Chains A and B, each alone.
Chain A
């Protein structure tokens, strides 16, 4: 049984038919076609699929798609404004904060959730913001540094 779901994705109204009980991750990737959201576990344990729902970070793999009806969803695919990168994207580039790149979209969204609410976080607050996101390549340090850079505005208009 499929149910229609309507929500805003990165500012645009989208509608999709979701399998009853489907998670938001599968609906975004398979039905809507936003492939910037990656799946890592479908268990709610790796953070790879992190998106923002009404500004709050959510694990899309354990979020019931139909519970997002009428809500505003942000994904990494919507971070860039035209050709201009979001400061977090620039900072991640400058700090070489991605290797395989698979956890990066989720990391960016987890970091955005923090900076949207707290523009001047401490290192501890940055560590807490990304602690639900697994990265197997970088050792986290470059990611923490990049988020702190972005908060300080060190990387605006660069990259």
Chain B
């Protein structure tokens, strides 16, 4: 038997938000009487970290500690409209809406503070630790808590803000396809290293190395979650998954997690990741979004690595050992693979 190693690469980009835009999201931010903030959304956290990302964006914008912000989602009676959690739109679209709402709330907070400190709001800054101080004179400061109490009970101000973010819907030229699909794109390059058993067609993914450009990583740990989990899913798409094993024939469809194949914890490999940040001009703090695109480069990178290892191209997903073995037999084994014929 012979096991052959190979490396494959893929470079991809991915549009952020719904194609053509037209997908608004709203946010409401308000303070309670003691200076703790609530973000009201109708956006969904299905594991990607929506609550946590918008929480950090809100705290940064308000200039308060993240512990002083809580994100409440998703209740249609209290949370304003959001198009939904898909199309890698959460961080970019909802993040921008939260930022706008937080800016509005911050302006009221600074006015209220200015009134208490008897200075011009423009002379004030937040210290990010729960206090508002006069620029250059940190001893002249007031806590956000006291500002909120004063605003509510003395000044009659609501420390609150509304935000919406909408990328206007783009037209599409039916003849040429001219359109504005997205305002920014994330990028990635992934290199996969595999080992192929030329007697059975079985593939082992040995290592992945990647660089992802995501605008701003609002939270590196959540980005890591997406990239590690997403590349696992990409590997799964590449080599394992299908609800129709004999597509386009619909027979033998899996009914459970024994029959629906996905890599187990014994099939995973080390993944060395670099994250680059080229801020998106219209992203919240330049953020784009890693959610969907992280899986995409893995499929072709693995396919190309298999070619590099044994010289066969499998252009139909999933790349099952059977397909590889059939191709190897058709080509008379792994050795002496010829370059694909170019016409």
Contacts and interface: CB of A to CB of B under 8 A. Distances in A.
Interface of A: 41, 43, 45-46, 96, 99-101, 127, 130-131, 134, 136-144
21 contacts: A43-B256, A43-B257, A46-B256, A46-B257, A96-B224, A99-B47, A99-B49, A100-B47, A127-B265, A127-B266, A131-B264, A131-B266, A134-B257, A134-B262, A138-B225, A138-B228, A139-B230, A139-B233, A140-B232, A141-B228, A144-B265
B38 interface: no
Nearest to B270: A141
Contacts of A127: 264-266
Smallest CB-CB A-B distances: 4 pairs: A100-B47, A139-B232, A99-B47, A45-B257
Given A131-B265, A141-B268, A144-B265, A45 B232 contact: no
Interface in B250-266: 255-258, 262, 264-266
Contact of B265 (A41, A43, A99, A130): A130
Interface in B218-244: 221-222, 224-225, 228-233
Contacts of A140: 232, 264-265, 268
Contacts, number: 59
A134 B228 CA distance: 16
Given A46-B256, A139-B268, A141-B228, 4 more contacts: A137-B47, A137-B225, A139-B232, A143-B265
B13 interface: no
Nearest to A144: B265
B73 interface: no
Contacts of B228: 138-139, 141-142
Nearest to A97: B225
Contact of A99 (B225, B257, B268, B271): B225
Contact of B257 (A41, A96, A130, A143): A41
A131 B111 CA distance: 57
B46 interface: yes
A15 to B, nearest CB: 33
A134 B229 CA distance: 13
Interface of B: 46-49, 221-222, 224-225, 228-233, 255-258, 262, 264-266, 268, 271
Nearest to A129: B265
A41 B229 contact: no
A130 B49 CA distance: 24
Nearest to A143: B265
A99 B262 contact: no
Nearest to A96: B221
Most B Cβ at <10 Å: residue of A45, A99, A136: A99
B265 A45 contact: no
Contacts of B231: 139
A138 B224 CA distance: 10
Contacts of B47: 99-101, 137
A41 B271 CA distance: 30
A125 to B, nearest CB: 11
Contacts of A100: 46-47
Nearest to A127: B265
Contacts of B224: 96
A20 to B, nearest CB: 25
B257 A142 contact: no
Contacts of B257: 41, 43, 45-46, 134
A144 B255 CA distance: 27
Given A139-B268, A144-B265, A41 B225 contact: no
Contacts of A45: 256-258
B266 A99 contact: no
A9 to B, nearest CB: 27
